[in-house]
């Protein structure tokens, strides 16, 4: 056990020094908090897998303050350059071929010859990356399989005592993880829907995307991290609920919620998908805690439209509801 320090935004240089020295520092991005490690330091990277209890076959995304720094480690083609130009800084991860001289430790990429890279859009997160001066490997800062953190407090709840520090940047504005796009093959493959809507990516590419993942048709192989059960609260989740029972907690969406649930969290009463995404993980955590306190049977989740950020929300809900298969 170590004591995890909660660092204010003004301590960005100190957080960067900790990272450079090989310590684990959680930091804000526009999507969720990341658990950062110096990606060139094999021991620091190994410590990330240990702190999260993450299977080592699941690669980490490397974070950079600028596209050119990312492209020094991973080789972009024309498509990657166009997408980076359009969406970075922002919630898009590009999986590209590793360059021969790539500085990133092999374990961070789970031994693959590809590398997931992104330039996050959060000003404090980017300031940290700039100050660190090294690529920063960062999965979401939660124990593997659990709900991702969108506040510094969430990080402390899950990883307090196991990491050196959390840099506090307040709540994450987007609230669901980055869109992960594999550009190593001829056809781009969507590995995970996320903060950049799939429609926006398709509009920026000449041809259609292939989709990978547990809930979609298997036109392409799944990414190594596409475990069916993920983002899971402790209580069972019931999808597509149009009514709720007295022994259920309700995850609502829209103006009209069914009556009868013991407690309710509305993702967005105006039906706004960006607001719903930003409130998703905090809502799952709150309903889970209330459900445990009140001895409820489960969480009933109302349907959310599958367009725009709704696709990322539905992906996370489907995984939160999936059977919990032990690794």
> Which positions lie near ligand TXA, rule CB under 6 A?
29, 31-32, 34, 58-61, 91, 93, 95, 109, 112, 114-116, 120, 138-140, 177-178, 180, 191-192, 223-225
Shortest CB 316 distance to Mg ion, Å: 10
Beta strand 33-38 pairing with 61-63: unpaired
Burial class (CB in 10 A: 0-12, 13-18, 19+), 111: exposed
Output 140 or 314, the one with its CB closest to ligand TXA. 140
Alpha-carbon distance 217 to 142, whole Å?
Answer: 29
Output 154 or 192, the one with its CB closest to ligand TXA. 192
Residue with tokens 């992960």: 180
Question: Are 218 and 212 in contact, with CB atoms under 8 Å apart?
Answer: yes
Burial class (CB in 10 A: 0-12, 13-18, 19+), 181: buried
Give the binding site for Mg ion (CB under 5 A).
140
Shortest CB 29 distance to ligand TXA, Å: 5
The interface partner of residue 28, options being Mg ion, ligand TXA, none and the CB cut-off 5 to 8 Å by kind, is none
Output 188 or 252, the one with its CB closest to ligand TXA. 188
Question: Are 182 and 203 in contact, with CB atoms under 8 Å apart?
Answer: no
The interface partner of residue 213, options being ligand TXA, Mg ion, none and the CB cut-off 5 to 8 Å by kind, is none
The interface partner of residue 59, options being Mg ion, ligand TXA, none and the CB cut-off 5 to 8 Å by kind, is ligand TXA
Shortest CB 160 distance to Mg ion, Å: 18
Return the beta strands (E) in the chain as ranges.
5-7, 25-28, 33-38, 61-63, 92-97, 114-118, 136-137, 165-167, 179-182, 189-192, 210-211, 237-238, 248-252, 263-266, 298-301
Shortest CB 93 distance to ligand TXA, Å: 5
Output 76 or 109, the one with its CB closest to Mg ion. 109
Question: Are 292 and 234 in contact, with CB atoms under 8 Å apart?
Answer: yes
The interface partner of residue 32, options being Mg ion, ligand TXA, none and the CB cut-off 5 to 8 Å by kind, is ligand TXA
Output 175 or 252, the one with its CB closest to ligand TXA. 175
The interface partner of residue 75, options being Mg ion, ligand TXA, none and the CB cut-off 5 to 8 Å by kind, is none
Output 58 or 229, the one with its CB closest to ligand TXA. 58
Residue with tokens 């997408």: 83
The interface partner of residue 225, options being Mg ion, ligand TXA, none and the CB cut-off 5 to 8 Å by kind, is ligand TXA
Look at the alpha carbons of 135, 136, 137, 139 in this order and tell me if their dihedral is positive or negative: negative
Closest residue by beta carbon to ligand TXA: 225
Output 140 or 268, the one with its CB closest to Mg ion. 140
Closest residue by beta carbon to Mg ion: 140
Residue with tokens 């100190």: 14
Q: Which of 116, 307, 319, 276 is nearest to 197 (CA)?
A: 307
Shortest CB 243 distance to ligand TXA, Å: 33
Shortest CB 33 distance to Mg ion, Å: 10
Alpha-carbon distance 218 to 68, whole Å?
Answer: 33
């Amino acid at each position: 056990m170590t004591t995890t320090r909660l660092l204010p935004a003004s301590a960005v240089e100190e957080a960067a020094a900790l990272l450079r020295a090989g310590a684990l520092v959680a930091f804000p991005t526009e999507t969720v908090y990341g658990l950062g490690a110096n990606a060139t330091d094999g021991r620091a990277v190994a410590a990330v897998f240990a702190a999260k209890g993450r299977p080592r076959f699941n690669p980490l995304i490397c974070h950079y303050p600028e596209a050119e720094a990312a492209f020094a480690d991973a080789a972009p083609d024309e498509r990657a350059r166009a997408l980076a130009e359009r969406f970075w800084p922002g919630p898009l991860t590009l999986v590209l071929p590793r360059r021969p001289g790539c500085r990133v430790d092999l374990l961070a990429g789970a031994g693959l010859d590809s590398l997931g890279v992104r330039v996050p859009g959060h000003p404090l997160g980017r300031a940290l990356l700039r100050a660190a001066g090294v690529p920063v490997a960062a999965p979401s800062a939660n124990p593997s399989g659990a709900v991702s953190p969108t506040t510094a407090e969430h990080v402390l709840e899950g990883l307090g005592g196991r990491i050196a520090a959390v840099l506090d940047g307040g709540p994450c504005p987007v609230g669901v993880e980055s869109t992960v796009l594999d550009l190593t093959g001829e056809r781009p493959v969507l590995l995970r829907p996320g903060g950049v809507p799939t429609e926006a990516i398709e509009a920026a590419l000449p041809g259609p995307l292939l989709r990978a993942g547990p809930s979609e048709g298997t036109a392409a192989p799944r990414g190594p991290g596409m475990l069916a059960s993920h983002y899971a609260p402790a209580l069972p989740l019931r999808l597509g609920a149009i009514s709720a029972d007295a022994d259920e907690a309700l995850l609502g969406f829209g103006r009209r919620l069914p009556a009868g649930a013991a407690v309710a969290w509305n993702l967005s009463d105006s039906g706004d998908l960006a607001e719903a995404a930003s409130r998703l993980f905090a809502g799952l955590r709150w309903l889970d805690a209330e459900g445990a306190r009140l001895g409820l049977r489960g969480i009933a989740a109302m349907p959310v439209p599958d367009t725009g950020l709704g696709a990322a929300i539905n992906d996370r809900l489907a995984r939160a509801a999936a059977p919990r298969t032990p690794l």
